A and B are shown apart, each in its own frame.
Chain A
């Protein structure tokens, strides 16, 4: 029976395919981890430069006390939560090696990395929290933990994630709450937004970015939802 109607957005997830997330080489852990590490390294470099520039401005305006403004209790609470991610240890390995640990030891799926990246993007837009060297270890560990809890039906304990991320268990559990409140618990990533982040990663791959991916991958970095939508459109023609 032929249908002339194009699949609606809701059809995109009506019947997930059996091999979602496993057969597409573009969504394999090595590719996603490498691309994310590259993107995040660049973000950190940009953010560090921006902080240095802001610090320079601060020196010429010693009276500026915006950071200590406590007229808005909600904003003050958010800043306190954000500062929880600063300080303490700094990563003693590359971002790539750090991210890879979650795939190797906690069997985090590629989709979880993409969702974690979406969360970091939301934090930047919403709470104004940016990834820098001082917070990267804690922020990334927590983002991956929360994304894993939201996306996967089976999860490791916080204590295990803490060990993988090089943190104390109690610290990670406290950071988790801070992260959730900073995100205002907005954890859902709809199909279209997920595809947009996949495309973002695809552009990073195709342009080489700071990481050159073996061109023999061939297939474009298309998440499963879009692949299904394309198949349906082809079938409808």
Chain B
């Protein structure tokens, strides 16, 4: 018996079984467009409506792992967060079976035609800089989305250009891939330190702090901000130690005076004593308000890092048309 297709509504994504129809019978795969934290992503057309969507596919092998925590968290957190215009919308969730009889979960998302990584790479390939006003409106939307996510008690923990989807025409930016996210509303003993792609990982995480919070995402936002200005990643380390040394070389080695308690973090050692380089040298091309905001995002002490909400009030964004974004 075929199941009647429920039309998804923005406020309440349905969670349906495909019934007699294989979930993929409802969609025509157009092309593979990438991989998320835990699954392949396809551009697809919904046959009933012609709407273009993104399908994220995760196979559930028998017995051992069940539903990956990444998938389980992404779905549940997106159900709560998708109402925000700066978080990617989860339209539907379908359980199906593949040809080998394995259970598959399909997450159906609104389709966005590019991501910030591709956007930046396009400018780099042309040896051009992203226009200053474009940087500003992208950063404004990012801070707004992160502020919303944090306001709901969620850490993203994997903010990076690849996970920020964009629409080239409208310059809309949306936060995606919440596979490594977690709620911070239920107190737990410790969080893993194996989160955040290395280049965007906050120093307190690299130093082994197991109780971190929203400032880890703000550090990532600061790294993205710098990358939008220069087209190059700010701290491209290739191991945890190299990542830490890279940060210290550029921003100066932290001490107890600027970051009280740093010496007690588990991975703290004696490090070479580098002096900080001016941000205007590291990230040429910003105005003074931009440097002030960037500095506040890259403060060593997590408690002194600007919050996303406060960042939105910073003078750097004064000339953004806040009605539009």
Contact = CB atoms under 8 A, between A and B. Distances in A.
Interface of A: 10, 12-18, 20-22, 73-74, 77, 109, 111, 114-115, 145-146, 149-155, 157-159, 169-170, 172-173, 176-177, 180-181, 184-191, 194, 223-225
User: 9 closest pairs, A vs B, by CB?
Assistant: A20-B187, A187-B76, A158-B66, A153-B192, A224-B187, A169-B63, A191-B185, A173-B66, A149-B69
A181 B15 CA distance: 7
A10 B150 contact: yes
A107 to B, nearest CB: 10
A224 to B, nearest CB: 4
Interface string B133-152: 00000000000000000111
Contacts of B187: 13, 16-17, 20-21, 111, 223-225
A154 B211 contact: no
A155 B76 CA distance: 18
23 contacts: A10-B153, A13-B184, A13-B187, A14-B213, A17-B187, A73-B1, A74-B16, A77-B16, A151-B186, A152-B188, A153-B191, A153-B192, A159-B64, A169-B63, A170-B62, A176-B67, A181-B17, A185-B75, A189-B186, A191-B153, A191-B186, A223-B187, A224-B187
B60 interface: yes
Contacts of A186: 76, 79
B6 interface: yes
B186 A194 contact: yes
Contacts of B186: 111, 114-115, 151, 189, 191, 194
A15 B211 CA distance: 8
Interface residues of B, number: 47
Contacts of A151: 183, 186, 188
Interface of B: 1, 3-4, 6, 15-17, 19, 60, 62-67, 69, 72-73, 75-77, 79-80, 93, 95, 103, 150-154, 182-192, 211, 213-214, 302-303
A155 B69 contact: yes
Contacts of B75: 180, 185
Given A13-B153, A17-B211, A177 B183 contact: no
A188 B211 contact: no
B88 to A, nearest CB: 16
A158 B103 CA distance: 15
B65 A158 contact: yes
Contacts of A187: 72-73, 76
B190 A173 contact: no
B79 A153 contact: no
Between A109, A152, A157, A194, the greatest number of chain B beta carbons within 10 A of the residue's beta carbon is seen for: A152
Contacts of A111: 186-188
Contacts of A169: 63-64
Contacts of A15: 211, 213, 302-303
B137 to A, nearest CB: 25
A13 B69 contact: no
A170 B63 contact: yes
A158 B66 CA distance: 6
A208 B52 CA distance: 58
A59 B303 CA distance: 66
Given A153-B188, A153-B190, A184-B79, 6 more contacts: A12-B185, A109-B188, A150-B183, A151-B183, A173-B63, A184-B15
A234 B79 CA distance: 36
B159 to A, nearest CB: 17
A84 to B, nearest CB: 13
Contacts of B302: 15
Contacts of A157: 64-65
Contacts of A13: 153, 184-185, 187, 213
A200 to B, nearest CB: 15
Contacts of A149: 67, 69, 72-73
A188 B183 contact: yes
Contacts of B184: 13, 16
Given A77-B17, A146-B72, A22 B189 contact: yes
A224 B211 CA distance: 14
Nearest to B93: A185
Contacts of A146: 72
Contact of B80 (A10, A155, A188): A188
A146 B69 CA distance: 9
A73 B3 contact: yes
